[in-house]
Each structure stands twice: as structure tokens, then as C-alpha cells.
A and B are shown apart, each in its own frame.
Chain A
Amino acid sequence: MAISTASELVRLDGIKKHYPVTSGGMLRRVHGLVKAVDGISFSMNEGETYSLVGESGCGKTTTSRMVLMAEPPTDGSISYQGNPMTSFSNSDRQNFRSSVQAVFQDPWSSLNPRMRVDSIISEPIITHQKNATKNEIKDRVDELLQVVGLHPFHAFRYPHEFSGGQRQRIAIARALSTQPKLIVLDEPVSALDVSIRAQILNLLKDLQETYQLSYLLIAHNLATVRYMSHRVGVMYLGKIVEEADPIELFTNPLHPYTKALISASLPSHPRQQREEIVLTGEVPSPIDPPSGCTFHPRCPFVLDHCSTNIPIYETPVENHLVSCHLYNNG
């Protein structure tokens, strides 16, 4: 789905995030680095969903925090509408903060229990539009509540009066309040009841179409990712090991890790059989990642040079990137 017409909103270039491991003594000697994110690049287009998948600890949440400007990268650059974050002026930064919002996994802890719904939703408006009048804010809150499928009278209630799905709708209304261009969705439905999930996913899809929103979706459920995304990156130990459009990725996975992830996902029918790829061992520590390809100690198709040479991105199929020696014909 090479949409060259869609314009690029955010680009990450060789992003790294290394956290120092200190001795804890007075001198705080650094004796190691946790390479949470270790050189990733991708770009997000306007009106599209980019998804990051991978197991816990692979760096997907750290990546989203850097996109949200909640944490500066150790190395590499992130640019928003062609403008690198490091050269943001104060007004650029303010503009960026209102254009990028987030919806988190757990709507029980992401909403302040002591705030009424109208103050939860209007807080970002008050912060970013200093000249908004009380009436304008109230109208906007009412409108937002309706947009996410709630009622204006809900504005006077507190979060505990709502069910999980309704709370997630409030969180979405809050994210929409500043008319953002990008919303980071960190596991937006995995804390919700099964019968509610499809509602929220469909709401997110509708909003994307109406407002031309871009999403950075972080999820571990591959079926959800396939349903929501325009482009998917598979992460392992701080690196993107494979990137493709969802249909291509899930029908023709190339990287052994992607294959293993797909084989581990649950069937949708008892008669459905998946090829089972069993990975040996555990995810290694990001403090001391394996040499060469970081996946080689667990890879069922490991080659001799996998432990010494770092794989580069190959494009065996158009628009389908994979970093694996199996596809290196050179």
C-alpha cells in the first residue's frame, strides 16, 4: 500500500535510548547501559496508523515516550512535519504538545478520580487555548462527549461512575480536545471487556477517518494490529526487525521472530492449526545484548555468521523490510 500521496507527519531516524546502570554508590559510576531502544527508524503518515508489536521489554513503550517528547533520545533525531524536535522554538514546542496526545491502557488509573469529567476533558483546552471563554469550553466538552458516544449530561459525573469502556471513551475525548494530529495509543483495549473492545476499536477507526488522525498503536494482540494498522513494525530488543503493511506481514512473515510471534497467537477456531515455532530460551538482557543479530541465540534458522555480523535491512519484497541474514543474497 505504498501511498506516496499521504504526507509524512513524524519521522524517526536512528533513534536510540540508553539508560545508564549505575553502581548506586556516591560516585554513581556507570557500569553498563540498558539499550532500551537501539537505533530505530520509521515514519508515520497523516491519517494512518503505524503499529509497533513485540513482547514486553522490546522498547515499544520507550519509543512512544520519545515520540510524545516525554523523554529525549540518546541519539538520532525525531522530526515533526519536517522540523527536527531538537530545533523546536518555544512556540513550536507548544504547538507540538497540543498536536500530539495519548490514550493509555488502563482507564482506571489514567483518569483522576477526584476530577469531574468536564474538568478532565477541558484541562488540555485550558492549557493550550488560553483565550477560550467558559462557554466555548463548555460547548466543546459537550461536543467531544457526543463525538465519543457519550452524553453531555455525563460531564458532571466522576470517573468511578463509568464502566471501563465508557472511561476509555472519556480518555479519548480528552485526547481529542486539543484537535491533535497524532495520538499515541498504548494498548488501548487490552484492559477492556471483550464485548467492549470492538466498540472502542471501531470508534478509533471512525475518528481517524473524520479527523484525519495519525495513530501510533502499541499492542501485543496481532489480530487487533492487523485490523487497525496501515503499517506495522516488529520490535525485538530495541530494534525493528521487520516492517511491512499488515496484510503482507501477516500472510508472508519473513523474520523468524515474526513467524514465532504469529505461531504463538491463539487460533480463532478449534480446528485451526498453526505451524508451531518454539523459541528456545528467554529474551536476553538489553544490558548485554547478544553479538551480531541479537535474535541469533533463540533463532531456529540460525546461520554461522549470525553471531558475528549485524544484519542490515533487506527488501526481498517491495515495501517489506527485514533485518535477517536469511534474506541476504550478497
Chain B
Amino acid sequence: MENEVILSVNDLRTHFFTRSGVVKAVDGISFDLRKGETLGIVGESGSGKSMTAWSILGMVPKPSGQIVSGSIIYQGEDLIQKSEEDMRDIRGSGICMVMQDPLTSLNPVFSVGNQVLESLRLEYSESKQSLRDRAADLLSKVRIPAPETRLDAFPHQMSGGMRQRVVGAISIARSPNILIADEPTTSLDATIQLQYLRLLKDIQDQTGAAIIFITHDFGIVARMCDRVAVMYAGKIVEYAEVEQLFDNPAHPYTEALLRSVPDLDIDVETLPSIEGQPPSLDDLPDGCAFAPRCPVAFEKCSVYPGQYDIEQGHTARCWRHDGN
């Protein structure tokens, strides 16, 4: 794996201005994405993980949502300064969202070939036949048998797994450098989910794209990711390589969360649970947002903690690690 940074997010703040006040959905996060790596952004609903993805893609709902500060550097340029038109081009050819639900993300009235060609046409101005060849090539890349004939099929003529592959093919049609996979709230069946995860790995092996995985599931992180950012109330509270995070979680939130998930291979009488509710973003405490639920909180936690190094490549925002 090369170490070249292809996306650099610095102190990104995405706020929503509503009648009841400012909602700080993303509040000062920074991370780097390296070529070919898989980064997991984990958090609960309202942690800001999806809004991070939307900010990168330039799809923050307007006018209530605004990126108020920070930068998102991709190929030497700041995406926040880009025009709507430029962003349209970058979405798809540079950074691409992978839809997870194959049943709803294909148009039922167009043939599969038509939908794959739609994105190819934006990238290449070639003859119909050579575009068709490219489309067939894409389908075979995602391991669809007999791609030539499959191009004329309609989504309803394909099985769920096939449709998933078609969606995968469309997302890599313009050979993006970064794929963003945002998890749907409803969960897929285990075997279908496994198929999807394998497909993504497969795509990554073939195209060398970096993947950002937005998820709430540590199981997906364990299986797929190289590095992880754990988000809580709009901030990255812990950032580590995946094995570091599971072996040595440094933030009390990560630690408690990892312990509260039932394990298929271990029998426990009572799961240790986290008390309280995730905070509401328009009414955050001044200090650490997790402090009201934290079992080890102390006086210092009423001031927001800085980011402290735990080990090489592993940081946490918690006063327990400030070195004193």
C-alpha cells in the first residue's frame, strides 16, 4: 500500500442553521485518506458520520446546512471552493458514492446497459460500439457472467446479487479514486451483506480505489477497514489503525461501545451497557460531549479535551491521555 495522501480533511465544520439554533453536525474534524486504503468512520445516528461524507461530496443540504470552515484537499485543490458544476464532475469521476440498496438504486424502466452507459458517456466521447464494449468490460470486472447479453437485460430480470454488481459497476464506470459507502439504516441479510462487502473488496483490488466506509457496525470495521475514525457528537474522538483500536481502545466511548456489542463466540451473563442517550446536537455540553455518560469522567472533562497521542498513528480526545 502506498502512503500517498489523496484526500485531506482539515478542521471541517458543517453546521446547520435552524430556527431553534445552530446544529453543529460536523465540528472540527481532520483526517487523511491514503491511496488504496479503507477508512471506517464509525458512529451512531447524529454523530456526524454521514454529514462528513456529504460534505466531501459537496452535497450538504442547502440553505440550512453550510460548511463554515475548514478545507477538503483533493488533488491539490480545496473542494469547498469548487463551483457546483466542478463538483458534479468530481462526483463520479473522482469521488463516488456507492449505493448499498440494489433494489431501489437502479431505474426499472431502463436496461442495465443503458444505465451503465449513462456514466460512461460523461467520461468518453466514443462511438456507440466502443462504449458498449467498455460497459461489457465493466460488467465482467464485477464478475457478471455473459456481460454482452446482460447489457440488454432489465433490473427485474436479474437477481438481487446481480443487481448489486451492476450498481458496483456503475460506481466504478469513471474509475474514481475514492469510493464512499454510506450504510443504509435498515440492515441487509447477513449473506447478502457478506456478498456486498466481498464485491467492494473485489472492486478495490481491481481499481486501487480508496474506500471510506460510513457505518455504525464494528463488525464491518473489523472485517473491512485499515483505519478507523470514531465519531461522537460531531467530533472524531478516536483515530487509529484497526488493530490498535480493537486491542487498545483509548477513548471511554470506544471502549464501552466495543464491550456492549454481543459476541457470537463468547457467552456472557450480562452485557456491560452504556447509560444515557446520545446527546442532542443543538444542546451540547461545553466540555467533552461524552462526559455525562462516561464512567471515568472527572472535573477536567467540563473543558473540551485536546487530541492526544496514544501510540504511533493512534490519537484520542480524552483528558485521561493528556500526559498528566
Contacts and interface: CB of A to CB of B under 8 A. Distances in A.
Q: Do A and B bind each other?
A: yes
Contact of B191 (A55, A166, A199): A55
B191 A201 contact: no
Interface string B120-135: 0000000000000000
A269 B263 CA distance: 10
Contacts of B271: 198, 201-202, 227
A263 to B, nearest CB: 8
Contacts of B265: 250, 268, 272
B190 interface: yes
B315 to A, nearest CB: 19
B278 A268 contact: no
A268 B219 contact: yes
Nearest to A202: B273
Interface in B36-92: 44-45
B222 interface: yes
Contacts of B44: 193-195
B5 interface: no
A205 B190 contact: no
Interface string A155-179: 0000000011110000000000000
Contacts of B261: 194, 197-198, 223, 268
Given A193-B45, A270-B242, A226 B159 contact: no
A260 B191 CA distance: 8
Interface string A198-227: 110110010000000000000011111011
Given A264-B194, A272-B222, A198 B264 contact: no
Contacts of A194: 44, 216-218, 257, 260-261
Interface residues of B, number: 44
Contacts of B192: 55
B264 A222 contact: yes
Contacts of A67: none
15 contacts: A194-B216, A194-B218, A194-B261, A195-B278, A196-B274, A196-B277, A198-B262, A220-B189, A222-B190, A227-B268, A247-B267, A266-B222, A270-B221, A270-B243, A279-B191
Interface of B: 44-45, 159-161, 185, 187, 189-194, 216-223, 242-243, 246, 253, 256-257, 260-265, 267-268, 270-275, 277-278, 293
Interface of A: 55-56, 163-166, 190-191, 193-199, 201-202, 205, 220-224, 226-227, 247, 250, 260-262, 264-272, 279, 281-282
